[in-house]
Structure 1
Amino acid sequence: MARESYQEKLETLQDDVLYMSEVVTDRLRLALESMEQKDHDTAWDVIDGDDEINQLYLDLEEDCIDLLALQQPVAGDLRLIASSFKIITDLERIADLAVNLAEYTLDADRDMSPEVDVQAIGNTTIEMVEDAMDAYAEEDIDACFAVAERDDDLDDRCRQASDTVMRDLIEKEVDADADEAEVEAIMQDVSRLLLTVRDLERIGDHAVNISARTVYMVEKDDSLIY
């Protein structure tokens, strides 16, 4: 393989990682939309589309392995390939969490804790992932650290949201005549909302992971990894 071809393959790898991120964030938006609109068709689109993302991941994994095995890259090229491999792993897991959100939509029976703005939290996580991927594309270290700083605020919002859900459950008056099935439905809805908040928080964590790998890729700085 000529050196020029090798460099082209590195550029193609980055382009393909960015394409995967676009597909993943689009699915995440659709999952949040399905929750807001209680749209089962959109939820199924997200669930059924997960195979495409898994295939993207496997194809990119193979590309990374080929570059490592055939070219024996060193220094910056090695970090680029290794970081890209780690980033696609985070993207695949974000896609899995989007599937979780879509599945919660299918299971939802009623609105719980309307004061918890799931959509606002979800939009923040999408922005964090997009900002992290822009930083990867531009090798923007400052942007990477900005994503990490935003995660502290996201964690606080998720913690407050979970506290609100639990408070509402404690304060909720269940009709004395409610049967076991109705009580069970309420508990399942509460559990679903808590899982939604947890999964959104985890998406933010993956955005930080992406930023951390970019910082390491560019400056061999592991301060965000550990």
Structure 2
Amino acid sequence: MRVEYNEELRTIKDEILLMSAITEKMLSDSVLALKSKDSDLARSVIERDDLVDAKEIELQLIVSQVIATQGAVATDLRRLASTYKIITNLERIADLAVNVSKRVLELSDIVYMKRLVDIPRMCELAEKLLKLAIQAFINEDITHLREIVDLEDEIDALNIQIHHDCLAYMMDDSKNIHQGSVFIFVGSYLERIGDHATNIFETVFYIVTGDYIDFNDLTEETIAQVLVAQN
């Protein structure tokens, strides 16, 4: 029975890795499409959302079947039940990548008011955060807690910077209002993607420790205590 459960858990983790890979590619392609004004690439991101939606339903069914047939208790049940949250957060990240891609189509005929720097940087940080969170789930390892917190803070700071910069361009020339508003929206999408990736890591933290902590409430002392306990 235990061998069968471990095999099913491995299948779930493999499928989540696949779902995450599709989602990560959608994210990177959506911002690449924005940077390069590639409408075809943006449309392909939008089309890929169906793959993520289908994978979400498939994974929910797999997890439900394992819970029903394996009689999971204690840590096993916590692990399996928490998987639903990870799947949901991945699906929402894909939705936000679609939102970015729709904005690309909205700006297809517009000359950008500035070269995009902070938005691609936000995307890189969000991808890194997501990769760390998913790897933490696969390995059930929360030792990258400090890096996760720092990445989220850096993403938040860039979002504020984008907001301020776009407002300055919009106030300087009313012709920039439309695209400035779009770039502000894109910054907010990427910030929310960072939040969803952090949510995944919070879920892993719960799986590993049995404690749920809102990372917004973390103190340096708490982080240090957690890392000492894990080493």
Tell me if TM exceeds 0.5. yes
The 1:98–1:115 alpha-carbon spacing in structure 2 relative to 1, beyond 3 Å, is closer
Equivalent residue, structure 2, for 1:153: 154
**Any conservation in 2 of the 1:61–1:85 contact (CA below 8 Å)?**
yes
1:218 matched to 2:208? The reply is yes
Task: Name the amino acid aligned to 2:77.
Answer: L
Task: Name the amino acid aligned to 2:62.
Answer: D
Task: Name the amino acid aligned to 2:182.
Answer: R
Equivalent residue, structure 1, for 2:53: 54
Task: Name the amino acid aligned to 2:136.
Answer: A
1:155 Cα deviation from its structure 2 partner: 0.6
**Any conservation in 1 of the 2:86–2:200 contact (CA below 8 Å)?**
yes
SS of 1:155's partner is helix
Written as runs of structure 1 = structure 2, the 5 A alignment for 1:24-103 is: 24-103=23-102
Unaligned runs of 5+ in 2: 218-231
Unaligned runs of 5+ in 1: 175-182
Task: Name the amino acid aligned to 1:154.
Answer: I
Which structure's CA Rg is the greater one?
A: 1
Written as runs of structure 1 = structure 2, the 5 A alignment for 1:57-206 is: 57-108=56-107, 109-114=110-115, 117-172=118-173, 174=174, 183=175, 186-206=176-196
Written as runs of structure 1 = structure 2, the 5 A alignment for 1:16-31 is: 16-31=15-30
1:211 Cα deviation from its structure 2 partner: 0.5
1:9 matched to 2:8? The reply is yes
- Structure 1 distance, partners of 2:147, 2:192, is 17
Report sequence identity in percent.
32
**Any conservation in 2 of the 1:31–1:42 contact (CA below 8 Å)?**
yes
Runs of 4+ that moved beyond 3 A? 112-116
**Any conservation in 2 of the 1:110–1:189 contact (CA below 8 Å)?**
no
- Structure 1 distance, partners of 2:112, 2:77, is 49
Equivalent residue, structure 1, for 2:199: 209
> Residue deviations 1:160-214, cap 9 Å, x none?
1101111221122x5xxxxxxxx5xx43212211100000000110111010000
> Residue deviations 1:102-161, cap 9 Å, x none?
111111123134365211111111111111111111222121442123211211111111
The 1:134–1:3 alpha-carbon spacing in structure 2 relative to 1, beyond 3 Å, is closer
> Residue deviations 1:39-78, cap 9 Å, x none?
1111111011110110000000111111222223112211
Task: Name the amino acid aligned to 1:148.
Answer: V
User: Across the two proteins, how many residue pairs are aligned to each other?
Assistant: 214
**Any conservation in 2 of the 1:155–1:201 contact (CA below 8 Å)?**
yes
SS of 2:144's partner is helix
Equivalent residue, structure 2, for 1:178: none
TM-score under structure 2 length normalisation: 0.87
SS of 2:213's partner is coil
Task: Name the amino acid aligned to 2:21.
Answer: E
SS of 1:110's partner is coil
SS of 2:19's partner is helix
TM-score under structure 1 length normalisation: 0.88
- Structure 1 distance, partners of 2:57, 2:106, is 30
The 1:158–1:170 alpha-carbon spacing in structure 2 relative to 1, beyond 3 Å, is same
